[in-house]
Amino acid sequence: DGGITQSPKYLFRKEGQNVTLSCEQNLNHDAMYWYRQDPGQGLRLIYYSQIVNDFQKGDIAEGYSVSREKKESFPLTVTSAQKNPTAFYLCASSDAGRTEAFFGQGTRLTVV
Amino acid sequence: RKEVEQDPGPFNVPEGATVAFNCTYSNSASQSFFWYRQDCRKEPKLLMSVYSSGNEDGRFTAQLNRASQYISLLIRDSKLSDSATYLCVVNWNNNDMRFGAGTRLTVKP
Are the beta carbons of A92 and B97 separated by less than 8 Å?
yes
| Model pLDDT, residue A81 | 87
DSSP assignment of A24-75, as one string? EE-S--SEEEEEEE-TT--EEEEEEEEETTEEEE-TT-TTEEE--SBTTB--
Q: What are the b/e assignments for B3-27, b being 16+ CB within 10 Å? A: ebbbbeeebebeeeeebebbbbbee
Chain A environment of B45 (Cβ under 8 Å):
103
What phi and psi values does residue B81 have, to the nearest 5 degrees? -70, -10
pLDDT of residue A97: 58
- Looking at residue B27, its pLDDT comes to 86
Kindly indicate the confidence band of residue B1, based on its pLDDT and cuts at 50, 70 and 90: low
Of A33, A41, A104, the CB nearest to B97: A33
Q: How far is B33 from chain A (nearest CA, A)?
A: 8
Three-state secondary-structure class, residue B17: coil
Q: What is the pLDDT of residue B96?
A: 73
A-chain CB neighbours of B90 within 8 Å are none
pLDDT in tens, B77-94: 999 999 999 999 988 776
Q: Which residue numbers of B have CB closer than 8 Å to A's CBs?
A: 6, 31-32, 34, 41-46, 49, 87, 89, 91-102
Encode pLDDT of B24-70 as tens digits.
999 888 888 999 999 988 999 999 999 777 899 999 999 999 999 99
Mean pLDDT of B3-11: 88
Nearest to B101 among A42, A48, A100 (CB): A42
pLDDT at B97: 79
Q: pLDDT tens for chain A, 112 residues: list them.
A: 669 999 999 999 998 899 999 999 999 998 999 999 998 788 888 999 989 999 999 989 999 999 999 999 999 999 988 889 999 999 999 886 567 889 999 999 999 8
